[in-house]
Amino acid sequence: MIEHMDGRSMKTFVTVMEEKSISKAALRLGYVQSTVTMHIHQLEQLLGKSLFRRLPRGVELTEAGKEVAPYAYRFLRLGESLQAKLTGLDEPKGPVRLRALESFCVSQLPKLLPTLFQQYPQIQLHLETGFQRDITQEVAGHRVDLGIVPRNPQMKNIEFVALLQDELVWIGTPELVHNIESKGWHACEQTPIIGFGGRCIYQTMAGQLLSEKGISNVQSLEFDSSEIIKQTVICGMGIALLPLTTVDAEIREGRLARLTAEKPIPLEHGLIYVKGKELSAPVQACKELLISFFDEELSRETG
């Protein structure tokens, strides 16, 4: 079976799976729809299983298709890894898929990216944002090469390398924070919690902490951007639980205040990748640069 498989059909399978549509996959790949259908049919014939179920609008994976998906990603990554090894003998060259929390991307990666592209101009970085669970699942499923998460996922097949010590802090306008610290949390029961939504570990922890204080049914405002969250809090529309590294500048400027009566929650942002997996040359270079960059940052801060 394996000797008859080809990367083209596997790539088509993965693209149809991600787009959930034959027509969208064809557009993305630059094929006509009949070519996409032919690739899928050839793969189904080879595997002896139907991989997609047609819907009124689009397609979805069958149970067999769900089983094939992680192996398809590995198949493609292995081919990319081989190509990267051969083309990167002199200099790392090729794609690196990195996924991190949006708040980390905004506050930390702009300091790193110029160094990365200066040292490795042939690396093609594909940077996406996500949440702790999403990122961990994407890395474990071989859909991304590297992930950066705020806590160790504690998974047997995932390697975690600490990058940055941080802490979660409650923030609000100086007036709102003073009101909470002088009158207690029940003085702001009608104040919304502003964050990324229920999929975000920060928002989940905020709800749990307030529940422990006897405050429930709190209104929430959800945004996709840490910058929008900060600006909304600055306008006095609510409070938020965010990493200190994300809001430190606004606190020092006096536009935001930190709720000092509440004990901060330790965070340890770290790099994750599949344990034991041989990384391609560009991925290995990116991994090593990330680790060394934050090691140097820590050394500068501590002396």
Same domain, 170 and 263: yes
Q: How many domains does the chain have?
A: 3
Same domain, 150 and 293: yes
Q: How many Å apart are CA 226 and CA 200, to the nearest integer?
A: 12
**Confidence bin at 173 (pLDDT 50/70/90):** very high
Same domain, 143 and 65: no
Residue range 12-69, pLDDT digits in tens: 999 999 999 999 999 989 999 999 999 999 898 888 899 999 999 999 999 999 999 8
pTM tops 0.75: no
Residue 79 lies in a domain: no
Same domain, 15 and 140: no
> Tokens 């790392």 sit at which residue?
92
Same domain, 135 and 174: no
Same domain, 239 and 215: yes
Give the structural domain span for 90.
84-162+268-302
* Mean pLDDT within 66-88: 78
Residue at a domain's end among 72, 95, 128: 72
Residue range 222-234, pLDDT digits in tens: 998 999 999 999 9
Residue at a domain's end among 72, 102, 120: 72
Q: How many Å apart are CA 287 and CA 285, to the nearest integer?
A: 5
Q: Are 282 and 146 in contact (CB under 8 A)?
A: no
CATH number at 192 reads: 3.40.190.10
